[in-house]
């Protein structure tokens, strides 16, 4: 979702764009995504390196968005870490690199009432309680920062909040489905969200020279409540579950799981650290983006639902 939106936003901004793909889009698909015919589609793959050299030849900047959301931790790390290093090895010194990271790299056990770019990150120990995606994104950031510093590649790291659109609502941050109903965890808590078009616009803005060397959170700052978002994104019955109660139930469930299924990995909601990462009530925003680049999200929350 994000990659297609970023390509469209770059083209609208007047950039000459190459969209590295594993399978090229048809003309009809390109038009549906808002891609003009001028967008090149070199076939490449960060997993084996096929086509990467040709795709990167002569570029001024690389926006690295490739990620694997599902699969085993090893498969996710293969894309996030090995694939990133394979890509960076092809870039000459001076090439701008924009890396799509994630809010999942933060240590939510140590995040307070607000989240900004100075919040504590996971480390080699605390990341082990998180899922494979969070581990992969943390290791990716570390590897990319080290390699860019070593090779003289100006780096900008962008950490998006949960990315959503009307077609693909980010319901994982709301709660869980229960038949025809949605269990809304912490119904009054503000959600950390960025609309896909706003997120893409932030990546384009971050091509500005002033963004080199910076790290930015991408969060629209609209902070609708979980209860309101669930009503819009998943019409139907809503069941409120206070965050504190969810945490207690999660801990009780984790103990029961250890007794009944010792040695087997527990579901994510029964791992306290993962539950906090998903439903922590901290507010976020885009203050650093606004302060450094003057960026504001072009689409507001209410207009998307009209």
The DSSP H or E segment spanning 215 is strand 215-218
Question: For the residues 289-293, what does the mean pLDDT come to?
Answer: 97
Residue 266 has pLDDT above 70, yes or no: no
Query: What domains, with CATH codes, occur in the chain?
Result: 2-166+192-223+282-305 (3.40.50.720)
pLDDT band at 109 (very low <50, low <70, confident <90, very high): very high
pLDDT (0 to 100) of residue 171: 86
pLDDT (0 to 100) of residue 87: 95
Residue 179 has pLDDT above 90, yes or no: no
Residue 265 has pLDDT above 80, yes or no: no
Start-to-end CA span in the chain (Å) = 21
The token pair that represents 233 in the structure block: 């994104």
pLDDT band at 268 (very low <50, low <70, confident <90, very high): low
pLDDT (0 to 100) of residue 124: 94
Question: For the residues 297-303, what does the mean pLDDT come to?
Answer: 94
What's the CA dihedral at 23, 27, 29, 31 to 10 degrees? 140
Q: Write out pLDDT tens, residues 184-226.
A: 999 999 999 999 999 999 999 999 999 999 999 999 999 999 9
Distance CA 212, CA 32 (A): 32
- Which pTM was predicted? 0.93
Question: For the residues 30-35, what does the mean pLDDT come to?
Answer: 92
3-state per-residue secondary structure call for 164-185: ECCCCCCHHHCEEEECCEEEEE
Q: Which residues contact 41 (CB under 8 A, 6 or more apart)?
A: 18, 19, 20, 21, 24, 25
38-52, 134-148, 283-297, range with the lowest pLDDT? 38-52
Q: Write out pLDDT tens, residues 44-91.
A: 999 888 899 999 999 999 999 988 888 899 999 999 999 999 999 999
Distance CA 191, CA 243 (A): 13
pLDDT (0 to 100) of residue 256: 74
With 0-12 / 13-18 / 19 or more C-beta atoms within 10 angstroms meaning exposed / middle / buried, residue 261 is: exposed
Residue 236 has pLDDT above 90, yes or no: no
Residue 257 has pLDDT above 80, yes or no: no
């Amino acid at each position: 979702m994000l990659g297609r939106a970023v390509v469209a936003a770059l083209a609208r901004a007047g950039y000459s764009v190459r969209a590295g793909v594993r399978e090229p889009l048809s003309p009809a698909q390109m038009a549906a995504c808002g891609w003009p015919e001028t967008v090149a589609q070199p076939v490449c793959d960060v997993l084996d390196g096929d086509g990467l050299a040709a795709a990167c030849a002569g570029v001024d900047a690389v926006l690295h968005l490739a990620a694997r959301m599902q699969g085993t931790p090893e498969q996710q790390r293969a894309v996030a870490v090995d694939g990133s290093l394979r890509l960076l090895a092809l870039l000459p010194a001076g090439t701008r690199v924009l890396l799509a990271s994630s809010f999942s790299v933060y240590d939510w056990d140590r995040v307070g009432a607000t989240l900004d770019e100075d919040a504590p990150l996971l480390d080699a120990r605390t990341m082990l309680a998180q899922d494979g995606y969070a581990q992969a994104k943390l290791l990716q950031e570390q590897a990319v920062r080290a390699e860019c510093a070593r090779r003289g590649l100006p780096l900008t790291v962008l950490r998006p909040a949960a990315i959503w659109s009307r077609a693909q609502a980010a319901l994982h941050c709301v709660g869980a489905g229960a038949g025809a109903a949605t269990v809304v965890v912490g119904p009054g808590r503000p959600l950390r969200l960025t609309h896909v078009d706003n997120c893409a616009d932030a990546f384009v803005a971050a091509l500005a020279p002033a963004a080199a060397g910076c790290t930015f959170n991408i969060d629209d700052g609209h902070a609708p409540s979980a209860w309101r978002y669930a009503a819009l994104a998943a019409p139907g019955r809503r069941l409120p579950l206070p965050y504190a109660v969810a945490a207690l139930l999660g801990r009780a469930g984790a103990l029961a799981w250890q007794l009944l299924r010792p040695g087997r990995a527990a579901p994510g909601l029964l791992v306290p650290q993962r539950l906090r990462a998903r439903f922590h009530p901290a507010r976020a925003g885009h203050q650093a983006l606004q302060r450094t680049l003057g960026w504001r999200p072009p689409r507001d929350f209410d207009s998307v639902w009209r």
